[in-house]
A and B are shown apart, each in its own frame.
Chain A
Amino acid sequence: MAEIYQVAIIGAGPAGLSAAARAAEQKLSHILLEASPQLSNTIFRYQKGKHVMAEPHVLPLRSALPFIAGAREEVLASWEQQTRQLAVNVRDQAEVMNVSGTQGDFTISLKHGEPIHAQHVVLSIGLQGNLRKLGVSGEDLPWVQYQLDDPDEYEAETIIVIGAGDAAIENALALAGHNTVSIVNRKDEFARCKDANRESILKAIESGSIQCYYNATVVQADDSPDEPQPGLLVLETPEGQARIACDRIIARLGAIPPRRFVQACGIEFPNDDPASVPAVSSQYQSNVPGLYIIGALAGYPLIKQCMNQGYEVIEYIQGNPVAPADEDLLKEKFSAMPGFTSVDDTLTMIQQRVPLLAGITRLQLREFLLDSGIHHPEPGSVIFTRDDYTDSFYSILQGNVSIPLGSGPKAPKAKLLQGDFFGEMSLLSGRRRSATVYAGANCLLLETPRRSMVKLISSVAAVKRVIDEAFIRRAIQSKFAPEAPAEILQQVAANAVLKHYQANQVLFAEGDAGDTLELIRRGSVTISRRIDQREIILSYVAAGNYVGEMALLGNTTRSATVTATVPTETIAIDQAAFQLLLDNDAKLRDAMQTEYRQRTLDNVQREQESTGGDVISFLMQQGIGEATDVLLIDESLCVRCDNCETACAETHQGTSRLDREAGPTFAMVHVPTSCRHCEHPHCMQDCPPDAIHRAANGEVFIEDSCIGCGNCVRNCPYDVIHMATPPPKKPGLLNWLLFGAGPGPGDHGLEAKGNNKGVKQAVKCDMCKDLSGGPACVRACPTGAAIRIAPDALAQYINKNVKSTRV
């Protein structure tokens, strides 16, 4: 019988390596299994010289390995050295096929070699481990690669990029500058990528700078020793078999989700969402006793968190009750609370008092609280103000808050008590705060930032359901019936349905029969009618408003078509349910009829001005439907002086965040390439250090904690974020004049040779939030051509502007 290790660690990334190092330090019998030929393959594959960041900086490091932010090479060397010193038992090129058995007797089958037996297994395989390969003969030839670290490394080569996703397209475009590039697409179109990438690749294909093989599948890759180019790729195309000589194949086929492997080990996932991760206990144990999960697979993508977990999991396996690394941080956070005894008690108290958080794991709760702040506001003080753009979420740990429903001193007030939560409206709709909230007596609040909340909502179904229900009830209350009794609201809300629409999907069409009103909670819609055989857009309705109200007042044939401009969510309320509200409040019918009358009048006006509709439709195509603030230039006033760009660069470290000339124009309205401060910013989606935030006035900005990963650049559909190094310091005038040192006056020196010392970070428009007086681009426009505008003001803008600039 082969040796039974006390612990087997699968995956030698930062988490696994740290676990193995701790096991070695503790003299446990252990083995570290790694599929690739080197330790920490993901970081090894980072671009040469890339700066590795050590976020979050508040979290202390607890590991047998050192880790300080620095160049990729330094980090890897320090780990390698320590691994050797501790005599960690590493087996590389050991790909694990399956884990079976139970605590005390696990069997790990490998692709090559004898199975391994262990008492405990730590799964730290991350998400980057298994890149999908070609799956044909020749897939492992030296000139076939599955990643591209630095496109500038290759010059004058014939390169074939395989794949049609964002990574493939971005690689192809980056390589096309210095190489002859072809791209192989299995389908007849590019459907799986960002719009901006699709546009760029189609343009490149059209202009001939990249050749595309559509509907083509790879048959095999062969060495061609007699040819000048080392490789030969055989493709099956609609026109027959193609044999292409090349220097290199770069296949970007994505990573194989480890889900199947993980499930085969007996581990359960909480839901079918492909992004979801398996649930683990506070000691990182999965639902299989003895099988632990740490690192990115457990939902922790940051290097430092992973390393800490590696250390802790070994302690837990040995039965040592170590406090997690965040214990001190939480203690400090909680110590301000009245009656604080211990972190554990406080966690229990929070879960008892806040039903929303009762069902989540301790680990999730700890992380949630680490990101959250605890406030003890004075009675009567303002927690947030109506129309603020903040998007954090509040839970009431103790006491109460009051919320005036409507304006004026006599407006009725809603009271929320211990265990309730608020702030979900802005969180979900991406819009301004819908009401002001005042603290009550002896109030203790937990404030959670958007990202932690979004993460929790997407990983715990129960949390999502509770928040959705509250949202529907409160949205109905604040929009239609501030004074309605709770039972009626409950009844109406119970009948309301949450609906999801894709961009350009029709909510309902002119002439349809329908008896529902739809309250838009996220996204926006346009209203259009068919006039003279043409669909004319009459207006734009943003989140927080409703459409289809006439159906509830008796008119059940839709008078116009309503179409989503961006992914949109609505709350649909049918006539029967709404009748309850109408019966309850006599004034509601009048109010809705007044609104309907105003809308009809506006629309009639717009029908006469058909360019207005065309302008709306043009602006919607430019993504204004999800904007909270957009820079528009009136080209009949713009004297092309580019003072806006200069002003932007001068106030932002030498890099302009807007490109005036780029972007389309319609009816003299020009939409330059510049940030729209989206309601649900695409850039925030996948930011590892959570460096992108929205300020109270709505500005979406990037903090200095940016690690330069470039995710936001790729996620932005409007191409308004780019990577930049801070410019070099300017020398004194004489120094420049006499010795030619550094960039001179009027030159930021960004292109200067040797200016690659700084770390590249993402930069974007921050609406000059740190300057008094507003955005520099608008203030520096000499003629008044440039304005910034919120979508609420769009209809008015179009009314005023288009009349004067009819083309």
Chain B
Amino acid sequence: MAHESFINHARYRYLRLSLLLILIASIAFIWHDPHPRPNGGTWLGYTLGGVCSLIILLLLYLGIRKRDYSSSMGTLKGWVSAHVWLGLSLLILSTLHSGAQLGWNIHSAAYLLLIVVVLSGLWGMLIYQRNPALMTGNRNQQTRLVLLEQIIQLDSEALQQADLISAELHHSVAQATRPNRSSNLLNRLSNRYWSDTARADRDADHAANVYRIEQTIATQMAASRSDQQVRYYRELLSTVSQRRLLSQQLGRDIQLQAQMEWWLLLHVPLSIALLAALLSHIVAVFFYW
């Protein structure tokens, strides 16, 4: 038994199901050939529309199933696998349903929303494939908390070392490492580890500031005449650059995790909007056609 991802779950069961659906729909579409042109109002159009609606409801149900932790209705992985493959099949099934007709109306709005939702899901799937391994590589056996603690430790060391050189430099180092209140709001909202991440985020922002300080230190060191001073500068420089590398590592870690969470901010609200548009589309078709 090895790890089997949601992509190849049960030997691509849902990919095979999706391909079968697409194949049947395509053959029917070609064979049907209605006049004047294919659209949602023919019997095939209604059938495809019905299938698409059912699939959409099934995909939306993932949000509920995900939170039903004691449910024994399949595994969540199976649900996600079905969600991914059936969701992708909608790109083709809904296009066939529409007969490739677009216009400035609620029907096309629903169609376009669907496409955006599916594409955002596709993006998420690709991120899920790419980021986990990158994150482990970047973490290098550390936890985020350990990285943060190291940074805090290095900050205080840097301040002490800068103190030995000049009050001015101490001030600059303090400036560069001081928490920055105006950090990215979206980033904060997106993360469940509020304080942890907010702090980490501020630190990550500082990599650039810290890099500027390194330049300053190097310049001053080059101008220094005292061996003692040069040694102080060198120590400070080493601390500060170590600090910058950690900041970058942390920043990368947060970036990778945020990428795995952000796309949902698009995908989920748009899915709800899609549900509304779909209902309007169906009501409009049946009552006002």
Contacts and interface: CB of A to CB of B under 8 A. Distances in A.
A804 to B, nearest CB: 8
Interface in A754-807: 771-773, 776, 778-785, 787, 789, 793, 796-797, 800-801, 804-805
Contact of A668 (B66, B76, B133): B133
Given A637-B3, A771-B72, A797-B1, A783 B77 contact: yes
B260 A778 contact: no
A639 B131 contact: yes
B257 interface: yes
Interface stretch (A118-126, A133-141, A146-154, A645-653): A645-653
B1 A796 contact: yes
Most A C-beta atoms less than 10 A away, residue of B69, B75, B257? B69
Interface in B1-24: 1-6, 9
B1 A638 contact: no
B228 interface: no
A787 B5 CA distance: 11
B76 A635 contact: no
A665 B132 CA distance: 13
Contacts of A346: none
Interface in A643-678: 643, 646-647, 650-651, 661-662, 664-665, 668, 670
Contacts of A772: 72
Interface string B135-164: 110010101100000000000000000000
B69 A776 contact: yes
A634 interface: yes
A637 B5 contact: yes
B77 A781 contact: yes
B69 A650 contact: yes
B43 interface: no
Contacts of B46: none
A635 B133 contact: yes
Contacts of A668: 133, 136
B119 interface: no
A636 interface: yes
A637 B132 CA distance: 6
B94 to A, nearest CB: 24
Nearest to A787: B3
Interface in A183-205: none
Say whether chain B's binding surface is mostly helix, strand, loop, or mixed.
Answer: helix
Contact of A773 (B72, B79, B128): B72
Nearest to B134: A636
B141 A784 contact: no
A635 B141 CA distance: 12
B137 to A, nearest CB: 8
B169 interface: no
A597 interface: no
A782 B75 CA distance: 8
A651 B69 CA distance: 7
A111 interface: no
Nearest to A803: B2
Interface residues of A, number: 41
Contact of A650 (B70, B72, B131, B136): B70
B257 A640 contact: yes
A488 to B, nearest CB: 40
Contact of B135 (A632, A640, A793, A800): A640
Interface in B73-127: 75-77, 79-80
B2 A779 contact: no
Most A C-beta atoms less than 10 A away, residue of B66, B80, B132, B133? B132
Contacts of A636: 132-133, 136
A783 B5 contact: yes
* Band of interface residues on B: 20 to 34
Contact of B132 (A640, A647, A662, A801): A640
A785 B70 contact: no
A772 B71 CA distance: 8
A481 B135 CA distance: 53
Contact of B3 (A646, A647, A782, A785): A785
Given A650-B70, A664-B141, A635 B136 contact: yes
Most B C-beta atoms less than 10 A away, residue of A638, A668, A772? A638
Given A782-B77, A783-B80, A784-B5, A643 B66 contact: yes
Contacts of A780: 66, 69, 76
Contacts of A804: 2
A780 B69 CA distance: 7
Contacts of B71: 773, 779
A651 B1 contact: no
Contacts of A646: 69
A779 B69 CA distance: 8
Given A639-B260, A650-B69, A783-B77, A665 B136 contact: yes
Nearest to A785: B3
Contacts of B1: 787, 789, 793, 796-797, 800
Contacts of A785: 3, 5, 132
Nearest to B3: A634
Contacts of A773: 71-72, 75
A200 to B, nearest CB: 15
Nearest to A802: B2
Nearest to A780: B76
A320 to B, nearest CB: 56
B260 to A, nearest CB: 5
Given A784-B6, A785-B3, A801-B3, A779 B76 contact: yes
Contact of A779 (B6, B75, B128): B75
Interface in B239-283: 257, 260
A784 B3 contact: yes
Contacts of A665: 136, 139, 141
Most B C-beta atoms less than 10 A away, residue of A651, A781, A789? A781
A780 B77 CA distance: 7
B132 A784 contact: no
Contacts of B3: 632, 634, 637, 784-785, 787, 801
Contacts of B139: 665
Contacts of B133: 635-636, 668, 805
Contacts of B2: 787, 796-797, 800-801, 804
A797 B77 CA distance: 19
A668 B5 CA distance: 14
A783 B129 CA distance: 10
A242 B72 CA distance: 64
Contacts of A793: 1
A662 B143 contact: yes
Contacts of B257: 640
A778 B66 contact: no
Nearest to A777: B69
A63 B122 CA distance: 73
A776 B128 CA distance: 21
B141 A639 contact: no
Contacts of B9: 784
A782 B71 CA distance: 14
Most A C-beta atoms less than 10 A away, residue of B76, B80, B257, B260? B76
Contacts of B136: 635-636, 665, 668, 670
Nearest to A662: B143
A224 to B, nearest CB: 33
A641 B80 CA distance: 14
A661 B143 contact: yes
Nearest to B125: A783
17 contacts: A635-B132, A635-B133, A636-B132, A637-B132, A639-B132, A639-B260, A668-B133, A771-B70, A771-B72, A772-B72, A780-B69, A781-B75, A782-B80, A783-B80, A784-B5, A784-B6, A785-B132
Interface of B: 1-6, 9, 66, 69-72, 75-77, 79-80, 128, 131-133, 135-136, 139, 141, 143-144, 257, 260
Top 8 nearest A-B pairs by Cβ distance?
A773-B72, A800-B2, A634-B3, A636-B133, A650-B69, A635-B136, A647-B69, A772-B72
Given A635-B135, A772-B72, A787-B2, 6 more contacts: A635-B136, A643-B76, A665-B136, A781-B76, A783-B6, A784-B4
